[in-house]
Amino acid sequence: MWKLADNKWVILVVSYLVVVGLSLPYYGWTPALLSVSEDLGLDYTQAGALSSVTALAGGIALLLGGAVVVRTGPKNVILVALVIGIAGQVLFASADSYPVAMLARAISGVAVGLMMVAPFTMAISWFIESRQAGRATGVMVSSDGAGFLLGLVLFGAVLTAVGWRSGLLWQAGYLAVLFVLALVFLRDPVVAQPEQATPEADERRTGATGVVLRALRSRNVLLGMAFYVGVWGLFSLIAAWMPTVLVEGAGWSESLAGLFASLPAVFGVITAVAAGLMSDRFVAKRWTYILVAGLATTAAVVLLAVGISVGNYTLAAVALPLVGLAGYGGMPLVLARSNESVAPEHVAASNGLVLGSGFLIGGIVYPFVLGGVRDATGGFGAGFVAIAIASFVLCVAVQLLGRGERQQAPSAPSDGAVITG
């Protein structure tokens, strides 16, 4: 009998909604940054630290979350993550001091990391058996654009209308709705049980820590980590610094600068979905397409760096959607390749490593380094040139090592997530 909870497309939609929803505990409070700073008496360094601690906690949760998903299953992790996210938003809304606000943001960061790795694993695992993992990956990666609209536009208006404290409670309510949807409609994929004792079967029963270590042995997982550090570092840097670059350098308004800084994620929806579909159809050419995406990303960053260096901010603005089209075009290809290069039960570990490294290293180091270069040189040009070089190294040069890497075909039944013991 057909059931909604057994339908992979329903599971994909709900998993997608959860990933989109992580924008609320991640950056859904930032439209009210000035109000938060005034209420709590924060300086700019302290206000920036609220975002940094969220990213740090989220990155650690992502890296370790893969092992947790392996042992408990993605649904349980999704439900726990949503509860943690609700708690973080409620605590932040009631914060009356900087230490409480930092604790709330750290709690929210843990929710963000788990709300990324578990839904990705849930969605991809349901599509591996039918060899449609790339399609699911593309849909999930495209969630960034919808997350921006939800977190910064829709709930940004809510924060403005009702105040930041009440607005955070509204966000907690939205996460509660996602909890109900996940509880009702999500179901862990069926665990693949080996029929007889073999060395391969013993590997499949390895504990969570061993699964993570085995995933690290895959060259494609390591290449995926490098690619995601490059592109997520770039996107994090643009989100953190491009509004300031355009306001200070071009004299744009904050709202217009913020809109253009969001263009990579918005335009990236197009190529993320398209690349996911292409990944399933042209597996043999995936390495070539990844290199093309890496080269295109580097070219777009070079254009962005040139525009900023020479003070041509119109050129820099034109480069922003190109960065998104190129970078997001490579992300589902790289993640699908990584996941298909490990045993089905190791997909959660692969997701945690690839997504976590990008989030933790790229999301924290890149903006920090650019800020340091800005302080040292008095401008942003040199920093963006360095980012262009890093993009070429991580997204092109390192990816050359992936040529000829044999991928493991999906096996049935496949869960991609759950191991007991």
pLDDT at residue 199, rounded to an integer: 52
Residues 23-38 have a mean pLDDT of 86
Residues 268-275 have a mean pLDDT of 87
63-120 per-position pLDDT tens digit: 888 888 888 899 999 999 999 999 999 999 999 999 999 999 999 999 999 999 999 9
pLDDT-derived band of residue 238, with 50, 70 and 90 as boundaries? confident
Sign of the four-CA dihedral 357, 359, 362, 368: negative
pLDDT at residue 412, rounded to an integer: 41
pLDDT-derived band of residue 421, with 50, 70 and 90 as boundaries? very low
CATH number of this structure's domain 7-193+203-402: 1.20.1250.20
pLDDT at residue 415, rounded to an integer: 39
pLDDT at residue 1, rounded to an integer: 40
pLDDT at residue 324, rounded to an integer: 93
Tell me the domain boundaries of the chain. Answer: 7-193+203-402
- Residue carrying the six token digits 């990213």: 55
3-class DSSP state of 95: coil
Q: Which of 37-41, 194-198, 269-273 has the lowest mean pLDDT?
A: 194-198
CA 354 – CA 6 distance, rounded (Å): 28
- Residue carrying the six token digits 């070539």: 288
Residues 297-309 have a mean pLDDT of 95
pLDDT at residue 395, rounded to an integer: 96
Token pair in block for residue 10:
């329903």
- From its phi and psi, is residue 3 left (phi > 0), alpha (psi between -120 and 50) or beta? beta
Q: Which of 17-26, 213-222, 310-319 has the lowest mean pLDDT?
A: 213-222
User: What does pTM read for this prediction?
Assistant: 0.79
Q: What is the mean pLDDT of the chain?
A: 84
pLDDT at residue 293, rounded to an integer: 95
Share above pLDDT 70 across residues of the chain, in percent, rounded to a whole number: 88
Task: Please check whether residue 99 is in contact with residue 399, taking contact to mean a CB–CB distance below 8 angstroms.
Answer: no
306-315 per-position pLDDT tens digit: 999 999 999 9
Higher per-residue pLDDT: 224 or 252: 224
Side-chain-facing half-sphere of 363: CA atoms under 13 Å: 24
pLDDT at residue 414, rounded to an integer: 38
pLDDT-derived band of residue 283, with 50, 70 and 90 as boundaries? confident
Q: Tell me: pLDDT of 344 over 80.
A: no
CA 259 – CA 275 distance, rounded (Å): 25
Kindly write down the DSSP assignment for every residue of 44-62, as one continuous string. Answer: HHHHHHHHHHHHHHHHHHH
- From its phi and psi, is residue 416 left (phi > 0), alpha (psi between -120 and 50) or beta? left
Q: How many CB atoms lie within 10 A of CB 1?
A: 3
pLDDT-derived band of residue 50, with 50, 70 and 90 as boundaries? confident
- Residue carrying the six token digits 């790795």: 117
pLDDT at residue 19, rounded to an integer: 96
371-409 per-position pLDDT tens digit: 788 878 888 889 899 999 999 999 999 999 987 655 444
Residues in contact with 383: Cβ distance below 8 Å, sequence separation at least 6, in sequence order: 369, 370, 373, 374, 377
151-202 per-position pLDDT tens digit: 878 888 898 899 999 999 999 999 999 999 999 999 998 643 333 444 554 5
pLDDT-derived band of residue 261, with 50, 70 and 90 as boundaries? confident
Q: Tell me: pLDDT of 2 over 50.
A: no
